[in-house]
Copies of this chain bind each other. A is one copy, B any other.
Amino acid sequence: MNYTERVNQHLDRYLSNQGSLTEAMRYSVLSGGKRFRPILTYTVANTFGTSLDLADSSACAVELIHAYSLIHDDLPAMDDDDIRHNQPACHKKFGEAQAILTGDGLQALAFEVLASDQLLPTKTRINTLQALTHAAFEMAEGQSIDLGVASKTIGIETLKNMHRKKTGALLSCSVQLGVLVSGCSNEDAQILNQFSEHIGLAYQIQDDVLDVLTPEEVLGKKQHSDIDKNKPTYPSLLGLSESKAEYESLYQQAFSSLGELSVDTTKLQALTKRLQSRAF
Contacts and interface: CB of A to CB of B under 8 A. Distances in A.
Interface of A: 18-21, 68, 72, 75, 77-78, 95-98, 100-105, 107-109, 111-112, 115-116, 122-123, 125-126, 129-130, 133-134, 136-137, 140-141, 143-145, 147-148, 165
A145 B20 contact: yes
Copy number in the complex reads 2
A101 B75 CA distance: 11
Contact of A126 (B78, B97, B125): B125
Given A115-B126, A122-B122, 20 more contacts: A20-B144, A21-B141, A21-B144, A72-B101, A72-B104, A75-B77, A75-B100, A77-B77, A78-B97, A97-B144, A101-B141, A101-B147, A102-B144, A104-B104, A105-B137, A108-B140, A112-B130, A112-B137, A122-B123, A122-B126
Nearest to A143: B101
Contacts of A103: 104
Contacts of A140: 21, 101, 104-105, 108
A120 B174 CA distance: 26
A18 B137 contact: yes
Contact of A100 (B77, B122, B148): B77
Contacts of A134: 108, 112
A147 B105 CA distance: 15
Q: Is the interface of A mostly helix, strand, loop or mixed?
A: helix
A68 B108 CA distance: 12
Contacts of A108: 107, 133-134, 136-137, 140
